[in-house]
Chain A
């Protein structure tokens, strides 16, 4: 490789050792002077910071130097503080000493080669004999440096102090000149030879004789001793394979005819170690050493690259992306499991402990897989076999959080990368301390894959450790599945389980392959089949400090996507194992990177508030499945079973707006679910005597109504459940979901193949649902979103949404007649749509009774509402339960107390149809009467309050919504996260604080940030164009669009303006208003 100057800009060079960007090295040993730094007097702060970064990722960093420890400490190690310093070692005095650091960051001598008195005398003698010989043969004056541990330095050119490494050529010439001019014709090599001979003659066995051109060094040790210490004490003792070691130097090759000072760091005895030289190496490098050059600057660059790799494989550093639970609180265990779910939209696995406890409620749920345990029960989520199942035994005793002592226990959800990391230090009754870490994910890159990495370190004992990790049928999964099958094979290693979901016959297969990375301790392996579990059992006899690692790969397939799920799962598990954990993790993290790039929501506020938003977006992203058109997102997504995986109106109104504006493929797939369940919606309508499609209030795989008929209330009464029979507004909600997706995507293919049919059939339902009286159309005997009032007439929300649904259908019919007449005809034929129906829809829409606004601008929620007992909810603060519990069911029904947004929801969804005065007055009226007994409620109130500029109310509701799952005083999240509330939170921020409105012609924005948010950055996707918004409160809105095509953006209340992708536009806040974009 050609010589490169250290001054050459290293930033322009490609990294010429590719492995540094891909492989996680666990030990990095490096020469100091000339490799990490130019010399021992320069400022080493940059390289120190980089090295410290690696220490924080538990990389063992080892300085291998010829100088003494104090020199290194002064320039480098004393500037490092923190527990990570215990991963730093200094091998000093050319193989004679090793220093580590204790928990108080103080240096600790770990090893010193103690020379005997005879050895010291011999060293003196050899040095003096060589000096005498040279001086005898010439007039050269030679000096000896005695005060070096286990070596003596014969100085051949005392007048040149501290030559730089870069001057090596000049130095060599100067030394040769000096010796030859003085009459020592044999020069440098001759002097070296004398030292070798003298050592032999005088009986200094195994003398280590080296030269740095200025000196001949005679010593008892050299850098190979340092490397030997590393391989014995760090590598073998910690079970770190040679392939995870990297050694760097600058003088591996010969210098001035002598072996380079780093040559002894290279050994062919330990194959697998990587070597890099950053030096000039004018005479080349030994085979096996990668010469990259570039000097210390390039060393820093290489370490930076490696740091980047560790960052990729480790948890995110930004705290707002981390949810951390320290300790172990059995009371909260089930809540924690929900919050810490890992999911990819196809499968979700609760954040349960690997070694299930009584407190655990583990579940892996698969979208679209339900069971039906008996004919009287509806479909419910089938709980798949638990793939996390892992038990660790130390000398036959299982480690458990409830036995022994917990020295440390911490679970971290990395919301940026979709990882759950668990760290557990356990002390058993005998005092044995074991460190266990687990890292798991459900791959976003490969939905059928889930991975777990298990690390175990026996900290203070030697013994036998075995790990059982496998697939287990839990109690819940045994109830969900029948025809259970299991198998465990050693060769080739594979264990798998299969079962058929009771009542629905869906076959689910999970297959597992485990691997153990290469190391010094070879485990025994058995595949076993026991009771309800199959597992791999890995057994080691380990010494203290030896690291054990297992990589577990699980493939999950069902008969929903393949006729042969067993074959697919087994093959795929092996494929995942071949790919390896690191590759799986990188691919998964990359997918998460891309999702976040499109869905970020950044505020300039405190970490806690940003974490709330990140939590919402994390779970929303986790819930999305763009590939399966026969599933949707259930009300607790894949995080829990409390709603049995049923789909409610929550999806279209609360969750899909996020996806329509960030990941439209997910919205499309979820809406296709509604298309595929149209037959059941038609059946329900028909059964109730209506036409068109009435969607089930709660639906599962088929779209059939899953709402139970009765409920046993908390006070023991049996009451009928009205929702399934009366909450018809769900059909309008589905239509709205279609319309919003269509507006934001203009996915004509979807509209023609599915969306139009949904809109027509739901319109038909409304047309059959209304009752005509006195020239107006009324909708009687319904229940609106406010479930405290069942069986009412002319619920405002239902009426206006029905009118909207009908209007959209009629408009769509006219539009398709213009744009796709052939397709329209085909659709009309398919569903038997009469020519007169669209006109009928138009007429009904225009004449639906919605004149329910009082003179004071307050809308009446339903017929007779204002006559009910007026209750101000503030009179019931504080309280320990929802208002309907405090008041009682009957009183709630006969009062104006409202469970959740009904009128307010309508005024939000159909904002453009109402004057601000009506929205404001109605909001203020219902705000005092709404008990928010549903988690769906606060976000909508917050959104409307934000748009109205009611800052205090908006912020109050924002905080309330954000903490529905994250507060810890209700056990609220135990059955799963409230994904609809999280979707509502996103809407409140983007559509409320951000003031975004989407319309047919473009996107409006009108931010009204509360004083708690100084800034709001977010991204939306509009018809294939990515819009990036940056809002600074009271100052400006920056937008830039990326993509092809035209679009229009405007300040809400002003006209839309054309925006050219790639150009930067700004609107300013002036005179209490937003200017147009420029």
Chain B
């Protein structure tokens, strides 16, 4: 009998961190996965005490497994996720303190950057906070056509398949940026001689490049917008009623990097799923 996949949600006992639990339960349900609730603290305590500390009702969380680990929170969570070969980490961007001026808490920053597996992040003040019965139907995936972004699409499509969503791929045309370079890059074509033919052809070629070995197994549509990427993505997500936003990235949050990831985490009302290329 095939082993069930695993997903992980780290909780530190704060109400803020707890906001991610609903999304985690929903994802576990959709993927038929075992949900591991991970708490990093020194000194072992009983399960009941742990539930109390984490503010979790056992009946509500059902068959999730509780895990208490000592050590550095980031290393502990990532290490555990690796050990159990988790498919995803779901977390709240912040823990004990939430200051909107800070994009992520220290633990959130560390896990997001360090994770080799997809991370689904929810901002604690999101209006559309996923609950345990959340069933996303549409995943919005912005992609700039660079090689690294294209390389990450395979995983995005697999995730969409696991979550049961369709995928809207969105390319945002930007003024002020150079086209991505590199052999095989798939930026927007500079030429649309006959748009009624070229746009469809470009979209098909784009999707084909994203799926190296077989067609995507989920319904996929290709769109284009122009302007500031974050604003364009947000506007599109509203217009097309996306349920979550998925991004490929290189996992670095230093100044000047990951502008779109940062921008979205700051303002979107949707969960953001990031995968590292």
Contact = CB atoms under 8 A, between A and B. Distances in A.
Interface of A: 329-332, 334, 358-359, 402, 635, 642-644, 648, 698, 707-708, 710-716, 721, 723, 787, 876, 878-882, 884-888, 932-936, 964, 968-972, 974-975, 978, 980
Nearest to B186: A971
A888 B226 contact: yes
B186 A934 contact: no
B59 interface: no
Contacts of A716: 223, 240
B201 interface: yes
Contact of B196 (A332, A721, A933, A970): A721
A901 to B, nearest CB: 13
B187 A968 contact: no
A971 B197 contact: no
Given A715-B224, A716-B223, A886-B226, A642 B176 contact: no
A1056 to B, nearest CB: 37
B180 interface: yes
Name the residue in A648, A708, A713 with the highest tally of chain B Cβ atoms < 10 Å from its Cβ. A713
Nearest to A698: B194
A644 B189 CA distance: 19
Nearest to A974: B205
- Identify the 5 closest CB pairs spanning chains A and B, nearest first: A881-B173, A331-B184, A714-B224, A711-B196, A881-B188
Given A714-B222, A880-B188, A707 B196 contact: yes
A285 B91 CA distance: 93
A964 B196 CA distance: 19
Contacts of A715: 223-225
A723 B190 CA distance: 20
B129 interface: no
A972 B189 contact: yes
The residue in B177, B181, B195, B240 that gathers the most chain A C-beta atoms within 10 A of its C-beta is B195
19 contacts: A329-B183, A331-B150, A331-B186, A334-B205, A698-B194, A708-B196, A711-B196, A715-B225, A787-B195, A879-B174, A879-B176, A880-B173, A881-B226, A882-B191, A885-B188, A934-B193, A968-B184, A970-B187, A971-B186
Nearest to A787: B195
Interface of A is mostly: loop
Interface stretch (B11-19, B158-166, B206-214): B206-214
Given A711-B196, A934-B191, A879 B186 contact: no
B178 A970 contact: no
A42 B106 CA distance: 83
A773 B222 CA distance: 47
Contacts of B213: 330, 358-359, 402
A885 B192 CA distance: 10
Given A332-B184, A880-B174, A932 B190 contact: yes
Contacts of A980: 193
B205 A879 contact: no
B206 to A, nearest CB: 7
A411 to B, nearest CB: 15
Contacts of B212: 330-331, 358-359
A878 B149 CA distance: 20
A972 B191 contact: yes
A1009 B190 CA distance: 28
A189 B136 CA distance: 104
B6 to A, nearest CB: 30
A332 B191 CA distance: 18
Contacts of B188: 880-882, 885, 970
Contacts of B147: 331
Contacts of B209: 331, 971
Contact of A879 (B144, B177, B193): B177
Scoring A358, A402, A970, A978 by chain B CB atoms within 10 A of each residue's CB, the highest score goes to A970
Contact of B175 (A643, A698, A886): A886
Contact of B193 (A708, A885, A886, A935): A935
B185 interface: yes
A787 B196 CA distance: 12
B199 interface: yes
Contacts of B181: 969
A648 B194 contact: yes
Given A329-B184, A644-B197, A969-B183, 12 more contacts: A331-B150, A358-B212, A359-B213, A714-B171, A715-B224, A878-B176, A879-B176, A885-B173, A888-B226, A932-B191, A971-B186, A978-B193
Nearest to A938: B191
Contact of B180 (A334, A359, A713, A969): A969
Contacts of B195: 711, 713, 787
B80 interface: no
B256 interface: no
A263 B48 CA distance: 103
B199 A711 contact: yes
B179 interface: yes
Contacts of B224: 714-715, 881, 885
Nearest to B232: A715
A970 B186 contact: yes
Interface in B118-163: 144-145, 147, 150
A887 B226 contact: yes
A710 B196 CA distance: 8
B191 A879 contact: no
Nearest to A644: B197
B201 to A, nearest CB: 4
Contacts of B223: 714-716
A706 to B, nearest CB: 10
Given A715-B225, A964-B191, A878 B177 contact: yes
Contacts of B144: 880
Nearest to B240: A716
Contacts of B222: 714
Contacts of A334: 205, 208
Interface string B50-88: 000000000000000000000000000000000000000
Interface in B207-238: 208-209, 212-214, 222-227
A633 B224 CA distance: 31
A181 B69 CA distance: 113
Given A708-B196, A879-B174, A642 B190 contact: no
A969 B187 contact: yes
Contacts of B206: 971
Contact of B199 (A713, A878, A886, A887): A713
Contact of B226 (A707, A712, A723, A885): A885
Contacts of A721: 196
B203 A714 contact: yes
Interface string B229-261: 000000000001000000000000000000000
B98 interface: no
Given A880-B179, A971-B206, A936 B193 contact: yes
Nearest to B145: A880
A356 to B, nearest CB: 13
B86 to A, nearest CB: 29
A971 B189 contact: yes
A878 B193 contact: no
A330 B181 CA distance: 17
B229 to A, nearest CB: 10
A171 to B, nearest CB: 67
Nearest to B147: A331
A648 B197 CA distance: 13
Contacts of B190: 881-882, 932-933, 970, 972
A387 B213 CA distance: 23
A934 B189 contact: no
Given A881-B224, A969-B182, A933 B192 contact: yes
Residue among B183, B193, B198 facing the most chain A CB atoms (10 A cut-off): B193
B191 A971 contact: no
A879 B192 contact: no
B214 A975 contact: no
A716 B200 CA distance: 11
B48 to A, nearest CB: 52
Residue among B147, B187, B194, B214 with the highest chain A CB neighbour number at 10 A = B194
